[in-house]
Amino acid sequence: MIKIAIQKSGRLYEDSIQLLKECGIDLNNSGRQLKARAYNFPLEAYFLRHDDIPQYIADGVADAGIVGENVLMEKNFDLEVMNRLGFGRCRLSIAIPRNEEYNSIKDLSGKKIATTYSGLLQKYLKEKEVSCEIHEIGGSVEIAPGIGLADAVCDLVSTGSTLLTNGLKEVETIMESEAMFVASKKRTEENDLLLQKLLLRMEAVKKAKNNKYILLNAPDETLEEIVNILPGMKSPTIMPLAEPGWSSVHSVVQENVFWDVIEKLKALKAEGILVIPIEKMIL
């Protein structure tokens, strides 16, 4: 049985549960207990406060878990990063009152900055050779300048609307963050085998999200060029159509180059292009 730590409630909860579901793992968590067994995989989930998760994993109480990169970097835990999960994306930024002029980081010199991420902020300021007063607070960082507690803030930003509402503007980005699947270095060999099974599923789910299945019809004279821009997993499937001189091509295209590829296919006289989401992709 592997023990996986997941945020109890908050920004990473839904996506974490959804990811496990897509990996074929259904948790018996109807009443939001602190612990839940999976019906169909030897896995037990612990629902914890996000900030506590790295410590539980480092101590070997949980074998692995899902946690924001920002918290891992701030607390510098000795954990193994198994997979970057692509959700919970945000950035740790410094922000100042919107009406203040800002030219460079030197403008922060001597200022008081409120944050819950004093470790990362301190490291950043040291690298930039700027000296500031860091005021560590537990939450609601963004109101600090408005109530006279600090001149600037260093906090997580995703849409930027919290900064906007509080009359602040982002001036420096310290790091970009996303949720990560991390494992304890104290895990047993037996649990590592289960973890590898889970990782294979996670990878299949992630790859499927990053790729689309594509079907199209093309005249035979452009097939060779189409094959070159549609490499697929090994190579595309090509089948002749009932109409002489035409073929059907099936392949897989990465999401990040999708529209570029479509434009090239159109230029090569491809027609009837169908794009289908992939549920799982196992290489």
Where along the sequence are the contacts to ligand PRT (CB under 6 A)? 7, 10-12, 49-51, 68, 70-71, 88, 90, 155-162, 177
Q: Minimal distance in Å, beta carbon 51 to ligand PRT?
A: 4
Nearer to ligand PRT, 1 or 34 (CB): 34
CA distance readout (Å), 34 to 1, 31, 63, 152, 174: 17, 9, 16, 37, 34
Task: Find the shortest distance in angstroms from Cβ 244 to ligand PRT.
Answer: 56
Nearer to ligand PRT, 63 or 155 (CB): 155
Residue 91 · residue 175 · CB < 8 Å: yes
Residue with Cβ nearer ligand PRT (10 or 146): 10
**Nearest CA-CA partner of 206 in 8, 13, 15:** 15
Nearest of 257, 72, 266 to residue 182 by alpha carbon: 72
Q: For 10-37, b where at least 16 C-beta lie within 10 A, e where not — what string?
A: ebbbebbbebbebbebebebeeeeeebe
Q: Which residue is nearest to ligand PRT (CB)?
A: 68
Rounded CA separation 151/106 (Å): 14
Nearest approach, Cβ of residue 88 and ligand PRT (Å) = 4
CA dihedral 165, 170, 174, 175 (to 10 degrees): 60
- Closest CB 262 distance from ligand PRT, rounded Å: 32
Of residues 108 and 157, the one with the C-beta less far from ligand PRT? 157
The CA R_g of the chain, rounded to the nearest whole Å, is 24
Query: Which residue lies nearer to ligand PRT by CB, 77 or 258?
Result: 77
Q: How far is the CB of 80 from ligand PRT (least distance, A)?
A: 18
Backbone angles phi, psi at 184, to 5 degrees: -80, 140
User: Which phi and psi angles does 127 have, rounded to 5°?
Assistant: -60, -35
In angstroms, give the least distance from the CB of 261 to ligand PRT. 31
Whichever of 67 and 194 has its CB closer to ligand PRT, that residue is: 67
Smallest gap from Cβ 53 to ligand PRT, in A, equals 8
Residue 7 Cα to chain centre, angstroms: 15
Q: Which C-beta is closer to ligand PRT: that of 75 or that of 212?
A: 75
